[in-house]
């Protein structure tokens, strides 16, 4: 089994439903992708629609991974900066691999594909992302070449009394 990555896939109902199912399943398995489970598809849908609208306006781009059956199995969204002084780097959001595929190296493949894609973006010199502390994600990103460059203590409240650091990771591309 392997994952095939596509940058800027055609946005059709199958793609929308696939990303929605992936995002919902990952959140309900404890993933740190903007929600705290349990969530249903209708909770996630408005967030996905915001990404899709931003893609239509050219502010975001999507890297999608599909498994051998053609199902959406992994995603990462790129977000470009509007600020004129920050156009030389890009944000990466919603990095996720479906729980049934995790732990087999696909997360690392996804980040390698994201770095390759970003190297092809005009004028982009680095990828920045932020991740929720307390889950070991810094180690995952570290194993993919990212460096921790900042940490905002207790900036993410996953539940009353359970605040997590917002960890900022950076991958220079040149
Ligand atoms: C984080 C995630 C994308 C990693 O994908 P994956 O396919 O499971 O990861 P890989 O199999 O490529 O693992 C690569 C390495 O990172 C490590 N790793 C993976 N997930 C990890 C985690 N959550 N914490 C610490 N280390 C992790 C693996 O052990 C492996 O290290 P090794 O080669 O030394 O054994 C995936 O687990 C996921 O989707 N998690 C839920 C969503 C999420 O929290 N995303 C992060 C948003 S900031």
- If DSSP states are collapsed to H, E and C, what string results for 48-79? HHHHHHHHHCCCEEEEEEECCCCCEEEEEEEE
Cβ of residue 91 lying under 6 Å from some atom of ligand 1: no
pTM score, whole prediction: 0.97
Superfamily of structural domain 3-128: Gcn5-related N-acetyltransferase (GNAT) (3.40.630.30)
Separation of CA 94 and ligand 1 centre (Å): 13
Given a contact cutoff of 8 angstroms between Cβ atoms, the answer to whether 62 and 9 are in contact is yes
Cβ of residue 168 lying under 6 Å from some atom of ligand 1: no
- Report pLDDT digits (tens) over 74-120: 999 999 999 999 999 999 999 999 999 999 999 999 999 999 999 99
Q: Which residues pair with 39 in a beta bridge?
A: none
Q: Which ligand 1 atom sits closest to the C-alpha of 30?
A: 41
Q: What per-residue confidence (pLDDT) applies to 69?
A: 96
* CA 102 to ligand 1 center in whole angstroms: 7
Per-residue pLDDT of the chain (174 residues; tens, 9 = 90+): 799 999 999 999 999 999 999 999 999 999 999 999 999 999 999 999 999 999 999 999 999 999 999 999 999 999 999 999 999 999 999 999 999 999 999 999 999 999 999 999 999 999 999 999 999 999 999 999 999 999 999 999 999 999 999 999 999 998
The residue ranges of every structural domain in the chain are: 3-128
Residues 6+ apart with CB under 8 A from 77: 51, 60, 61, 62, 63, 92, 93, 94
């Amino acid at each position: 089994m392997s994952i095939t990555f596509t940058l800027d896939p055609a946005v059709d109902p199958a793609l929308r439903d696939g990303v929605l199912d992936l995002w919902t399943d990952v959140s309900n398995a404890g993933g740190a992708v903007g929600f705290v489970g349990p969530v249903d598809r209708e909770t996630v849908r408005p967030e996905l629609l915001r990404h899709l609208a931003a893609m239509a306006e050219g502010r975001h781009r999507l890297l999608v991974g599909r498994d051998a059956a053609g199902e959406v199995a992994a995603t990462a969204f790129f977000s470009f900066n509007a600020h004129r002084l920050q156009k030389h780097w890009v944000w990466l959001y919603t990095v996720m691999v479906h729980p049934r595929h995790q732990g087999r190296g696909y997360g690392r493949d996804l980040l390698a594909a994201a770095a390759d894609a970003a190297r092809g973006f005009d004028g982009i010199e680095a990828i920045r992302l932020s991740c929720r502390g307390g889950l070991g994600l810094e180690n995952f990103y570290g194993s993919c070449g990212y460096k921790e460059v900042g940490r905002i203590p207790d900036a993410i409240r996953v539940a009353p009394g359970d605040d997590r650091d917002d960890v900022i990771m950076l991958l220079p591309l040149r």
